[in-house]
Structure 1
Amino acid sequence: MLKFGTMGPAVAFPFVLLLVYLCSNSYCATYDDSVNLMDKVLDGYVSRQRPVLDQSHGIVVSLGFYLLTIQDFDEVAEKFSAYGLLYITWSDQVITWDPKDYGGAYSALFKLSDVWYPKLVLTNPYSKLSDLGDDWMIVRIYNSGYTSFVPGAVFDTSCSADVTYYPFDTQTCALDFNVWGYVGTEVYLIPFLDEVDTTSFTENGEWALDSTSVTRIPGGLSTSDTIRFSFSIKRKSTFLIINVILPIVFMAVINMLVFLLPAESGERLSYSVTVLLALAVFMTLVGDNLPKTSEPMPVLSYYLMILLILSTLMTVTTIFNLNIYFKKGQVPACWRRLYRIIFCFPCRFRKKKIHKNNKVYPNDCINDSKTPIETVDISDREEPEPEITWQDLSVAVDWIALAVFFVGTIIVNAVFLVILAKNKDVAFN
């Protein structure tokens, strides 16, 4: 241990000054000092009046937002919910004191209702309009008048959903705050930063935070300033791709295979109707997760509608083709002519020539002269064209329908992907 008795006066004097300085600047306020401080500064204080000595001047209120998590975005109800903290500061020119008079107390906590505070209101709420702050909350005021207030809440706001590129959509929602009852010349709202503080942000399972921004909308002589905290959120689409998009694409592909199913199996119609109903069910599921509005309509809804139309046409074609396959009797001349034109049917049975004057030699070991015993002259002949049946016509319809619907499905999927590619920054990032 260092003993002052062993040190000379020149060495001990600086240590004495340091101890005096530390004691004079230490926080040694007692309970009575804190009570006297609150009684003194609140004596004659009116919490309804702006704490500005010159009432012709405005009071500057700084605003910041700490985003903790995105609770939910309901695109059907068009509701955005975010949980966060507002950091509000201003200068109270009435509540000031000298810390030396109160045991070095440089700050104190006050009940919210005992002091003036800016009654911030969320001006675009989802349900009801209310001010931010409850009686149980407290504010911290420093001896210079600097005041800080940090309320927290779950903020529910209305947010119009743009589901054009659902499920690869990006939504932009905002929280608008202004001071209720004051005009722009009485209370100036200014943001702390140009973006929302996300240092303590927790990711949402369905939505990813893309970007944030803070905008000040100045008021005037009749309106108050507004601070807008904007959030750009991007849907995590992997779940919907696996459970919605891919099953729809697979059903669109297997729907065409109905034309490869033998007509004798008796399962063609039930197969086609089953796929049609499955597409209708998926269309209902997608519609339940979208806002009930026609502007804008999601591209996915158009895609499902076109696939549903194609599936309906396949079912109608299947019924028509089964009717052809099980018909009896001779095929009309117009259908036979069309069949011949499409499949070049006569080309398969051209004339086959056999050379004339073919000589036949007997295979007889006794006849050594090798002279022919018979000369056969065979004229040109052609293979007879088989009769075209209803079953042949049905098979032809199957192959034509398979080709047409295959090309149609490829075009529909290509157009759908091209439209999404225009939004590739959202869809594929």
Structure 2
Amino acid sequence: MSRKEEVILDPQVGVVGILLDRYSSSGTWQLLSNSVEILPNENNLTRIQFQMRLKRLKTFYILNIILPVLFLSFTASMVFLLPAEAGEKIGMGITVLLAYAVYLTIIADNMPQTSLQVSYLAVYLTLLLGLTAMGVVLAVVVLHIHHKSDDCKIGKRTARMTRKLRILFCLYKAKRPHTVVNVTDTDAKKQEYGTLSPRPRSRGTVAPLASEAVSPPPSYTQNVQEEEITWPKVAETLDRIMFFFTSCLIAIITITFIPLLICAP
């Protein structure tokens, strides 16, 4: 007997698919269906093709990887809401950056080392990692502007643009107006009303005296002073711009990748 005839595969007729008598369910994959197909013999060799359709169970990955990364993505833009006086802007940015790096390392260790297919989660984390690194650099720039010396004057264009942006982002704080009373005009009107002749007295009424005549309200002059633009206010305005910019970028990236992560096979 030749070696080709030593092993002959003879599937049972009428059996559909693989017998699952000894199959135990897995926590990672779910077996949806299976089939057995007899292929034509080739070089006197019996050929049988087994097909199994599997579905990945996503609960573990959603709870342990996707949701923590999603929550972490919202903290990346919070660096720009932290006041410069707190002294923790760089520390918070570096902490978020290291958290992304740790998650990216964990995912890289559990993924096959191939360049043919790239994980959506790895791309998502890499983009957030780069965005957080950019945020740390911008935070350094904002702190540099905040601690500029008062001897360095602010240009008129910079002050004008900063004032407009502060109004746009509801940061503008104008000083209270100073009220000036025009005493000369008020006294003159009092004297004018005081010298008026009293109205004729009617029965049952008492005419007011000239000294008790009602004087008109004094005239007021309001001087509204614009907010003085300083380097800390310029830094605060840049912080608010960077917050909205990074928040929009993170929202766009998250909305783009989350459906791919959840619906990926």
Q: Which has the higher strand share?
A: 1
The equivalences for 1:276-295 within 5 A come to: 276-295=97-116
1:231 to 47, 52, 66: 52
SS of the residue 1:218 aligns to: strand
SS of the residue 2:19 aligns to: coil
Question: Structure 2: how far apart are the matches of 1:243 and 1:324?
Answer: 40
| TM-score normalized with structure 1 length | 0.49
SS of the residue 1:369 aligns to: helix
| TM-score normalized with structure 2 length | 0.75
Which residue is 2:156 aligned to?
Answer: 333
**Cα distance, 1:263–1:223 mapped onto 2, change above 3 Å:** farther
SS of the residue 1:339 aligns to: helix
User: For the Cα contact (< 8 Å) 2:32–2:54, is it kept in 1?
Assistant: yes
Question: Structure 2: how far apart are the matches of 1:224 and 1:119?
Answer: 10
Which residue is 2:118 aligned to?
Answer: 297
Which residue is 2:204 aligned to?
Answer: none
Which residue is 2:62 aligned to?
Answer: 241
2:22 to 194, 200, 207: 200
* Coordinate RMSD, CA, aligned: 3.6
User: For the Cα contact (< 8 Å) 1:194–1:215, is it kept in 2?
Assistant: no
SS of the residue 1:342 aligns to: helix
**Cα distance, 1:375–1:204 mapped onto 2, change above 3 Å:** closer
Offset of 1:226 from its aligned partner? 1.1
Counterpart amino acid of residue 40 in structure 2: P
SS of the residue 2:122 aligns to: helix
1:120-162: per-residue Cα shift (whole Å, max 9, x none)?
4xxxxxxxxxxxxxxxxxxxxxxxxxxxxxxxxxxxxxxxxxx
Offset of 1:368 from its aligned partner? 5.4
Offset of 1:234 from its aligned partner? 2.5
Which residue is 1:416 aligned to?
Answer: 257
Question: Structure 2: how far apart are the matches of 1:237 and 1:328?
Answer: 55
**Cα distance, 1:417–1:334 mapped onto 2, change above 3 Å:** same
The equivalences for 1:3-402 within 5 A come to: 48=1, 119-120=6-7, 179=8, 189-190=10-11, 192=13, 193-220=15-42, 222=43, 224-329=45-150, 330-344=153-167, 357-358=185-186, 369-370=211-212, 381-402=222-243
User: For the Cα contact (< 8 Å) 2:16–2:35, is it kept in 1?
Assistant: yes
User: For the Cα contact (< 8 Å) 2:121–2:261, is it kept in 1?
Assistant: no
User: For the Cα contact (< 8 Å) 1:263–1:325, is it kept in 2?
Assistant: yes
**Cα distance, 1:390–1:209 mapped onto 2, change above 3 Å:** same
**Cα distance, 1:277–1:296 mapped onto 2, change above 3 Å:** same
Residue-pair matches, total = 239
Question: Structure 2: how far apart are the matches of 1:268 and 1:349?
Answer: 29
User: For the Cα contact (< 8 Å) 1:195–1:214, is it kept in 2?
Assistant: yes
Unpaired runs of at least 5, structure 2: 192-208
User: For the Cα contact (< 8 Å) 1:361–1:370, is it kept in 2?
Assistant: no
**Cα distance, 1:255–1:49 mapped onto 2, change above 3 Å:** closer
Percent identity of paired positions between Structure 1 and Structure 2: 28
Counterpart amino acid of residue 250 in structure 2: T
Offset of 1:235 from its aligned partner? 2.6
With a CA cutoff of 8 Å and minimum separation of 6, indicate the structure with the bigger relative contact order. 2
Counterpart amino acid of residue 28 in structure 2: E
Q: Which has the higher helix share?
A: 2
Which residue is 2:199 aligned to?
Answer: none
